[in-house]
Amino acid sequence: MSQTFSVSSAVELAVVERSGFIESRHSGAALVLSPDGVAVETLGDVDAAILPRSSMKPLQALGCVTAGAALEGERLALATASHSGTDRHVAVVQSILDSAGLDESALQCPPAWPSDADARDDLVRAAGAPQRVRMNCSGKHAAMLLACVANGWETGGYLDPSHPLQVHVREVIERLTGAKVSATAVDGCGAPVYGMSLTALGRAIHRIGTASERSPFALHRLAGTLVRAVRDNPWTIDGPGRPDTIAIERLGVFAKGGAEGVMVMVAPDGTTVALKVLDGSGRAATAIALSLLERHGALTSSEVAATMAVLPLRVSGGGADVGAIRPTASTPGT
């Protein structure tokens, strides 16, 4: 059976502190690439396979647009999002489906309630029910359907790894990572997710995050367009007050979290972080990535501190703040 790295191959990345007591520790692995793509720091086993989960969405989105899905602006950003299901998100997803001549019934992601609390409350008050279009991966699925329609491919089986779309997406992923995928699994939304190392994932995200829209290579031009779409529309990627959106809005990074503690982030200067929290918790992932970018001079201490202050890192006790989730990867020996 395929598996990721072990506890013995991990290093401490963050702690949870309550009233001066270290209550929990998050271990994992992380990779930092310089603006020119050279590995400048590795923590833990960065060559073992992981499942990138939604941190792979930028690669899948590029697979869709290189297959002919005509997307730009907020629609392109939504194709790489793990959105919170607000009405604004849903409207964009529906516009992608409309352009494909399809409706919500074509989506094969599972129905879900919005993860945005206000949107969920509104839907409950309206006697609504979980919807496929509200599922956080619906933008990716709508983009996949649009690519299928553009090529005349059958839409009913678009999630099958042997479907022409998924074959193309996999080829694009392998081109960006520079490595063959090591395993194929089913993601939470039903789409294929591919095993790869943090090294391979970091390489791909660095290539995307530093791509130029003026590149002579079509894939790089499209990658540059995707990054601009995300930075111009940070609300699409996550949602109001949520970590990815906060980081993009405040710092101009290109960020994409994934389930099971995966995070990729590219600073404006091209410095790139890819990490996996081994226990699967994502609560510290954004803070760890920001601290590593700060350590390597890609972000200033003041702007990182200001961003950390608005991330959901506080530990509560009796209705008051009594501690915090604190990254330790940037301070070896702690």
* Residue 211: partners with Cβ closer than 8 Å, 6 or more residues away: 220, 221, 223, 224, 227
pLDDT digits (tens, 9 = 90+) for 279-329: 999 999 999 999 999 999 999 999 999 999 999 999 999 999 999 999 997
pLDDT digits (tens, 9 = 90+) for 22-71: 999 999 999 999 999 999 999 999 999 999 999 999 999 999 999 999 99
Q: Round to whole Å and give the CA distance between 90 and 114.
A: 10
* Residue 205: partners with Cβ closer than 8 Å, 6 or more residues away: 55, 58, 254, 256, 264, 266, 272, 274
Q: How far apart are the first and last CA of the chain?
A: 35
pTM: 0.95
The residues spanned by each domain of the chain are: 7-327
**Which of these, 147, 142, 139, 144, lies nearest to 69 by C-alpha position?**
147
Question: Is the Cβ–Cβ distance between 211 and 266 less than 8 Å?
Answer: no
* Residue 214: partners with Cβ closer than 8 Å, 6 or more residues away: 221, 224
Mean pLDDT of the chain: 96
Q: Is the pLDDT of residue 334 over 50?
A: no
Q: Is the pLDDT of residue 332 over 90?
A: no
Question: What pLDDT, on the 0 to 100 scale, is given for residue 174?
Answer: 98
pLDDT digits (tens, 9 = 90+) for 145-168: 999 999 999 999 999 999 999 999
Matching residue, tokens 């516009």: 95
- The fold adopted by the segment(s) 7-327 is Beta-lactamase (3.40.710)
